[in-house]
């Protein structure tokens, strides 16, 4: 029989005797213990760093069984131990929740740490739950086991005597600090050897210690938890038996922003690595909320078919109040060996720096076409307009009289067009190109050259080009954040302005009843027209560049949503009053000609005949002059 089998058989016998003595009717076999195995839970530190640190200390332990699966380990303190080193031979609170391992086999989870002054020689102990039976000493390791054992009390200690008739049964120095186990009685820690047949020991439970009693061979056993010949036991962290799965992010201490009116769901799954039995459905997580008044928090938890514990926390921002709060997901039953025992996400009732609003162009133009400046539609119309240098859009006073301060495609080294009138000379200010002499010194980046923001108008060179007139252009807006893209819809409301104070444009939108009430309430506060962003359409009757800014009103979001877009209207007819002036001038000229013809006819004046007679007279005079010249010659 192998050593492992022998240990199992001896262990079975020990518990049979122990519980028969106490009156139990059943028999505990090693098969009833939870099988041990390598920890496989996510976050087990041994997966990366090898064996966990040993938290044992240099002394002997004396085990004492108290029930079917409970065992007490007493830490031995020698009588002559110096006072200043006694602490190094005692259990302390750091051992709570840890596991005692035997040098042979077996393990027990420490559930309680005790400090005491009795029994003598034991100043501390731990109550542990046995998870795997501990290996016993065999006859070839301790020959004393081949004899019966007589126990007598000798003062504060006990004398252990072997049967003198059994010659091969001897006490040896290697037996010091081994523990005699007597099922149903106190255990004894051997402290010294008197001779080959006698030894002295101290009892773990003196009130339950036998006196002047003989125990036959195979009814008493030895445990070796000593340290005289090298410590035979260790204390390690309890193996991690949980996976902590978080669906939203690989990071455990995440930061999530929740905008006003929005919510976020945190999903956590705890997977147990339990073997051999089904755990009670007791919640495995405790959730703490730092500031419960900031967000509306709801929790739903359940066990699935695999005994995994799932919890979903929904946090909603429903109050116009910004701030942050932490949440703690704590697994109290997890071992410190697990990388993940607590998750602490931070929820901020605020606007995320990744959250922004964007305009969706009606026609997509690739970036390479923007660089080249050419992107034609099916009719050959170029959809990109390269703006003239130092361009300024027209004003309501006319194309030649720009009144905006914004330059586009700025170059301080080039002349400024449309700068003849006094009002135009008073306006127009460089931003990026201020206080420099050339465009190269403006240091415009690629991003700035294609930005719609008015702050970078100096750098903007190319804009989207459309044919006149523009009717029902869809102003499509979307919100982009770390979770994706969502269209801008109610309850968001927007204002739209033209940054260069141009007119000749009009917006059309749908106004449901609830939007109508909000619009009526908000417009006096904002001091501008408010629009529903869903189904918003733009019509333009003017020409050249229009630069629009869309702003989401406050009160429905913590974010300062502002987006700008530009439209260049080309091939437009003459602006007002061009057509009118031409028509009036034509009418005046035609009317004057008709009036003159009428007056000539009324007074019998024939302009054509008068003109013909004048021509004839001129011709006759010219002929007579020519003839006179010939006669003289």
Question: Which pLDDT value is given to residue 23?
Answer: 35
Which residues partner with 315 through β-bridges?
Answer: 264, 297
* Cα 16 to Cα 30: distance, rounded to the nearest angstrom: 11
Q: Are 452 and 464 in contact (CB under 8 A)?
A: no
Q: What sign for the dihedral angle of Cα 269, 270, 276, 277?
A: negative
Going by the DSSP 8-state scheme, the letter that residue 408 receives in this structure is B
Contact partners, residue 564, CB within 8 Å, separation at least 6 = 359, 452, 453, 454, 499, 547, 548, 549, 550
CB-CB neighbours of 590 under 10 Å = 10
User: In b/e form, how buried is each residue of 134-151, taking b as 16+ CB within 10 angstroms?
Assistant: bbbbeeeebbbbbbbbbb
pLDDT of residue 384: 96
> Within 13 Å, how many C-alpha atoms sit on residue 497's CB side?
12
Q: How many helices (H) and strands (E) does the chain have?
A: 8, 33
Question: Are 225 and 61 spatial neighbours (Cβ–Cβ below 8 Å)?
Answer: yes
Q: Which residues contact 545 (CB under 8 A, 6 or more apart)?
A: 387, 391, 393, 408, 463, 500, 566, 567, 568, 569
Q: What is the DSSP string of 351-380?
A: --TT-EEEEE-SS---HHHHHHT--B-TTS
Mean pLDDT by 10 residues, the chain (633 residues): 41 42 31 30 44 87 92 95 94 91 92 92 95 93 94 93 92 94 95 95 94 94 92 87 74 86 89 60 81 92 85 90 92 78 91 94 93 94 96 92 96 94 93 95 95 96 94 95 89 95 93 87 92 94 95 92 96 70 86 82 76 75 63 60
> How do beta strands 323-330 and 286-289 pair?
antiparallel
Per-residue three-class SS string for 473-503: EECEEEEEECCEEEECCCCCCEEEEECCCCC
Calculate the alpha carbon distances from 314 to 124, 250, 256, 260, 317 in Å.
Answer: 47, 19, 12, 14, 10
- Of 205, 153, 155, 197, the C-alpha closest to 179 is 205
What single string gives the DSSP state of each residue in 137-188? P-TTT-GGGGS-EEEEEETTEEEEEE-TT-TT----GGGTTEEEE-TTS--E
233-236 and 122-132 strand pairing: unpaired
Residue closest to 243 by CA, chosen among 277, 283, 284: 284
Cβ atoms < 10 Å from Cβ of 83: 6
DSSP code at position 275: -
Maximum pairwise Cα distance, the chain: 189
């Amino acid at each position: 029989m192998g050593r492992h089998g022998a240990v199992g058989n001896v262990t079975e016998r020990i518990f049979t005797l122990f519980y028969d003595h106490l009156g139990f009717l059943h028999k505990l076999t090693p098969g009833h213990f939870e099988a041990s195995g390598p920890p496989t839970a996510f976050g087990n530190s041994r997966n990366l760093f090898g064996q966990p640190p040993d938290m044992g200390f240099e002394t002997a332990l004396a085990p004492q069984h108290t029930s079917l699966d409970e065992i007490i380990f007493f830490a031995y303190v020698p009588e002559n131990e110096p006072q200043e080193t006694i602490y190094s031979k005692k259990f302390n609170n750091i051992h709570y929740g840890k596991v005692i391992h035997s040098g042979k086999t077996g393990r027990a989870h420490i559930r309680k740490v005790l400090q005491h002054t009795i029994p003598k020689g034991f100043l501390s102990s731990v109550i542990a739950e046995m998870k795997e039976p501990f290996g016993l000493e065999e006859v070839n390791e301790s020959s004393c086991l081949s004899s019966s054992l007589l126990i007598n009390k000798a003062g504060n200690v006990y004398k252990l005597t072997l049967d003198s008739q059994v010659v091969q049964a001897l006490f040896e120095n290697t037996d010091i600090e081994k523990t005699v186990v007597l099922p149903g009685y106190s255990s004894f820690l051997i402290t010294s050897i008197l001779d080959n047949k006698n030894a002295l020991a101290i009892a773990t439970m003196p009130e339950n210690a036998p006196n002047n009693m003989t125990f036959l061979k195979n009814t008493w056993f030895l445990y070796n938890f000593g340290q005289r010949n090298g410590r035979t036991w260790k204390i390690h962290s309890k193996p991690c038996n949980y996976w902590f799965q978080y669906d939203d992010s690989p990071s455990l201490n995440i930061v999530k922003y929740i905008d006003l009116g929005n919510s976020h769901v945190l999903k956590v799954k705890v997977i147990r690595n339990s073997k051999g039995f089904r755990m009670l459905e007791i919640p495995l997580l405790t959730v703490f909320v730092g500031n419960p008044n900031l967000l509306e928090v709801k929790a739903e938890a359940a066990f699935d078919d695999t005994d995994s514990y799932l919890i979903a926390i929904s946090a909603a921002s429903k109050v116009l109040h910004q701030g942050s709060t932490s949440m703690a997901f704590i697994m109290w039953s997890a071992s410190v060996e697990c990388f993940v025992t607590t998750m602490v996400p931070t929820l901020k009732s605020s606007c995320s720096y990744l959250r922004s609003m964007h305009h969706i162009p009606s026609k997509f133009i690739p970036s390479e076409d923007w660089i080249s400046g050419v992107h034609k539609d099916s009719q050959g119309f170029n959809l990109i307009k390269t703006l003239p240098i130092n361009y300024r859009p027209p004003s309501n006073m006319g194309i030649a009289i720009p009144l905006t301060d914004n330059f586009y495609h700025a170059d301080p080294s080039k002349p400024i067009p449309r700068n003849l009138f006094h009002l135009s000379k008073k306006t127009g200010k460089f931003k990026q190109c201020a206080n420099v002499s050339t465009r190269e010194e403006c240091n415009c980046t690629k991003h700035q050259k294609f930005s719609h923001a008015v702050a970078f108008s100096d750098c903007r060179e190319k804009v989207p080009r459309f044919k006149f007139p523009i009717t029902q252009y869809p102003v499509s807006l979307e919100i982009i954040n770390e979770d994706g893209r969502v269209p801008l819809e109610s309850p968001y409301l927007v204002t739209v302005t033209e940054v260069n104070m141009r007119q000749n444009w009009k917006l059309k939108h749908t106004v449901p009843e609830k939007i109508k009430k909000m619009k009526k309430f908000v417009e006096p506060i904002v001091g501008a027209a408010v629009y529903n962003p869903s189904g918003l359409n733009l019509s333009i009757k003017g020409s050249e560049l229009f630069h629009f800014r869309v702003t989401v009103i406050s009160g429905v979001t913590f974010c300062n949503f502002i987006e700008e877009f530009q439209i260049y209207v080309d091939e437009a007819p003459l602006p007002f009053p061009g057509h009118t002036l031409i028509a009036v001038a034509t009418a005046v000229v035609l009317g004057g000609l008709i009036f003159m013809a009428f007056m000539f006819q009324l007074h019998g004046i024939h302009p054509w005949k008068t003109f013909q007679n004048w021509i004839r007279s001129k011709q006759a005079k010219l002929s007579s002059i020519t003839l006179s010249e010939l006669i003289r010659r």
